[in-house]
Structures are given as C-alpha cells and as structure tokens.
C-alpha cells in the first residue's frame, strides 16, 4: 500500500484527514485569503474550482495541492437550457482543470447519468455524498460501477451552522471530529473562511460586499473562539499536534 492510500478503519495506523474547499465563485481577494492561510500552514488540500482566475496557476504551482472541479447544475435543473446538456456543461468545467480527477458538484448535484459522464471525462473520484458526522457512521470510500471511487465526506461549515441553529451542535471545537473513526473529510468555502462565519445570516447580510475585500473585513465575525476560520485554524493545529497526515482526495484508494 503506498503512503497516500486511505487505510481502512481496521488499520490502527489510520491517522489521516482531508481538507477540501469549494471555491463557489469567490472573488480573488477572498479566495487568496484562504490560499494564504493554507499555505501558511504548509498542508496539502484539495480545491474544487468554479471559474477561471489567475489564482488557479498559484494552486497548480503548489505541489501539495490538488485541483478538482465544482460544476453548477442549479440553473440547468431550474429550467435554463445548457448547450450540450449535462455533458456539455461538464466538458466546459473540465476545461478549467484538464488533468483534474476529483469532482464535487455545487449543491451536491448528482444522478446516475452524471456519474457515467464523470467516468467518460476521466474523473476517478466523486465527492458528492455528504453524510454528517452526526450520523455516527464510519465512512469508507467505495467503488461504484465503471471504477468510479465514491468518497463520502462528513463535515462542512454551512451544515455545522445549521446544526448549531437547531441545537444539534454546541461549539466550534474540532476535536470530536478528529476523534471519529473512518474517513475524515472536511469542506470549507473561502467566503466563510474570510468572514469567520458562525451563522449563515452573516453570509446573507454581507452579500453586497462579497466582492469588496475592504468592506468585507469590517463584517468578519470577531469571535476568537468560534466560527469557520477559527475551526479551520484549530483543526489544522490540532491535527498537527496529533501527528495526523493531511491527504488529497485523489490519493484515496479502496482497500
Ligand atoms: Zn458549491
């Protein structure tokens, strides 16, 4: 087994986490802020990109980063015609990152026909299954038809915000997620990292400033012990303290 291979939960040596980002059309200053943070910690990360920007070159130049794609089917599903249908849309996103092998769709869009297209376009890792850590399921990757590796993930900041609102979570301490057995994949969005989002209302009421870095700075959540940015920083620090490895989605193999 090569060092990048995901080790099954029965393997006591399993000590790996995966940090991923959905870019969601973030403005360059907001996107760059997250890249700065991650590069500051010198850790591997997987970036699901949405649009052309000079910052893709910066991601490419970092040898411990992986670039995947994050296509948006929402308008198509709501009735807008898309040239070439699903395949046409995916082919255009594919051009953003010609060598990408990992894919997660915006809003987690998926259906079986789409999975077939992923395979045809050369994707090997699908990350469209969200199964919250609260399910207490030990997540494992598995191989679907056509050899596609389906990679479930268990934490995302916007869902954490919703669970906090519903009283199903109490704080932003990442320790219990690191303690969980099984595959541990975390997902973040640069806008929430920038805002240190602790409640989705912060995101909604700052929409007018999402592309204005200077204005947005004044709207950050100032809590030094809570919010998305705090969680990300603490997660990285705590995982390092525990000597855990940071993996890339493309390295995940099915035992
Ligand atoms: Zn998205």
Model pTM score: 0.94
Instruction: Tell me the CA–centroid distance for residue 12 and ligand 1, in Å.
Output: 34
Measured in Å, residue 188 CA sits from the centre of ligand 1 at 10
Distance 187 CA to ligand 1 centre (A): 10
Cα-to-centroid distance, 55 and ligand 1 (Å): 18
**pLDDT attached to residue 214:** 93
DSSP string for 177-219 = HHHSSS--EEEE-HHHHHHT-SSHHHHHHTGGGTT-HHHHHTT
Q: Mapping DSSP to helix (H, G, I), strand (E, B) and coil, where does residue 22 land? A: strand
Ligand 1 mean position to 132 CA, how many Å? 17
Residue 173's nearest CA partner among 106, 237, 111 is 237
The tens-digit pLDDT sequence of the chain (255 residues) is 344 444 444 444 469 999 999 999 999 999 999 999 999 999 999 999 999 999 999 999 999 999 999 999 999 999 999 999 999 999 999 999 999 999 999 999 999 999 999 999 999 999 999 999 999 999 999 999 999 999 999 999 999 999 999 999 999 999 999 999 999 999 999 999 999 999 999 999 999 999 999 999 999 999 999 999 999 999 999 999 999 999 999 999 998
- Report the pLDDT value the prediction gives residue 255, as an integer from 0 to 100: 82
C-alpha 104 – ligand 1 centre gap (Å): 8
Phi, psi for 88 (deg, rounded to 5):
-60, -45
What architecture (CATH level 2) is domain 16-251?
Alpha-Beta Barrel (3.20)
CA 159 / ligand 1 centre spacing (Å): 12
pLDDT at 104: 98
Residue 108 CA, ligand 1 centroid: distance in Å: 8
pLDDT digits (tens, 9 = 90+) for 21-61: 999 999 999 999 999 999 999 999 999 999 999 999 999 99
List CB contacts of 165: < 8 A, sequence separation 6 or more.
199, 200
Q: How far is the CA of 48 from the centre of ligand 1 (A)?
A: 9
Find the 22 Cα to ligand 1 centroid distance in Å.
5
Ligand 1 center from residue 36 Cα (angstroms): 20
Q: How far does the centroid of ligand 1 lie from the alpha carbon of residue 60, in Å?
A: 20
Ligand 1 centroid from CA 155, angstroms: 14
- Predicted local distance difference test score (pLDDT) of residue 14: 63
CA 174 → CA 117, 164, 229, 246, distances in Å?
36, 14, 12, 15
Distance from the alpha carbon of residue 230 to the mean position of ligand 1, in angstroms: 21
CA of 51 to the centre of ligand 1 (A): 12
Looking at residue 11, its pLDDT comes to 47
- Let me know: does 250 contact 125? Beta carbons within 8 Å: yes
Residue 6 exposed, middle or buried by CB count within 10 Å (0-12, 13-18, 19+): buried
């Amino acid at each position: 087994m090569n060092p990048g291979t995901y080790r099954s939960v029965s393997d006591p040596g399993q000590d790996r986490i995966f940090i991923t980002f959905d870019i969601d059309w973030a403005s360059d200053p907001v996107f760059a802020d997250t890249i700065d943070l991650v590069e500051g910690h010198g850790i591997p990360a997987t970036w699901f990109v949405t649009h052309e920007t000079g910052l893709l070159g910066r991601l490419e130049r970092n040898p411990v980063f992986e670039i995947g794609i994050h296509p948006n089917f929402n308008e198509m599903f709501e009735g807008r015609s898309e040239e070439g249908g699903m395949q046409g849309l995916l082919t255009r996103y594919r051009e953003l990152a010609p060598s990408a092998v990992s894919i997660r769709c915006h809003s987690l869009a998926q259906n079986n026909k789409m999975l077939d297209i992923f395979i045809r376009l050369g994707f090997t890792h699908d990350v469209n299954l969200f199964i919250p850590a609260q399910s207490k399921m030990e997540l494992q990757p598995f191989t679907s038809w056509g050899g596609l590796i389906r990679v479930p993930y268990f934490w995302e900041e916007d869902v954490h915000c919703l669970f906090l609102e519903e009283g199903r979570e109490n704080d932003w301490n990442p320790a219990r997620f690191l303690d969980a057995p099984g595959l541990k994949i975390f997902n973040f969005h640069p806008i929430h990292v920038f805002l240190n989002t602790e409640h989705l209302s912060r995101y909604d009421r700052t929409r007018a400033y999402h592309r204005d870095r200077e204005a947005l700075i004044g709207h950050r959540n100032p809590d030094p012990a809570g919010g998305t940015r705090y969680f990300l920083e603490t997660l990285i620090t705590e995982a390092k303290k525990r000597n855990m490895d940071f993996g890339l989605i493309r390295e995940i193999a099915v035992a």
